[in-house]
Structure 1
Amino acid sequence: YLLFLPVDKESQDVLVRRINKNQEFVESKLREWPLSFEPMTEPVG
């Protein structure tokens, strides 16, 4: 799959919220290219 990240902050925020609804991922990793991330294994407090 090829995923294009939005360049403006507002659109990035929308995409990050949709991907990370359950807070499974570190948000900063969803804003980096290339997308390469692992789900968090520790609960978020």
Structure 2
Amino acid sequence: SSNEFFLVKDDVVSRFDVVNGQSLILLDEWVLLKKGSGIEQKEKNID
């Protein structure tokens, strides 16, 4: 299984997998509805 993270900042979302402690950017500049201010990090576990 891998750990997929969604880094949310303003209206931009960066999706990346964390491998050996390093962030590998897979997709960036995803447009979502603004979720408040600041940065929100959501973790999604994928088996």
TM-score range, shorter chain: under 0.3
Q: Which structure is higher in strand share?
A: 2
Q: Please, what TM-score do these two structures have when normalized by structure 2?
A: 0.23
Q: Please, what TM-score do these two structures have when normalized by structure 1?
A: 0.23
Q: Which structure is higher in helix share?
A: 1
Q: Flag the structure with more relative contact order, 1 or 2, with Cα contacts below 8 A and sequence separation at least 6.
A: 2
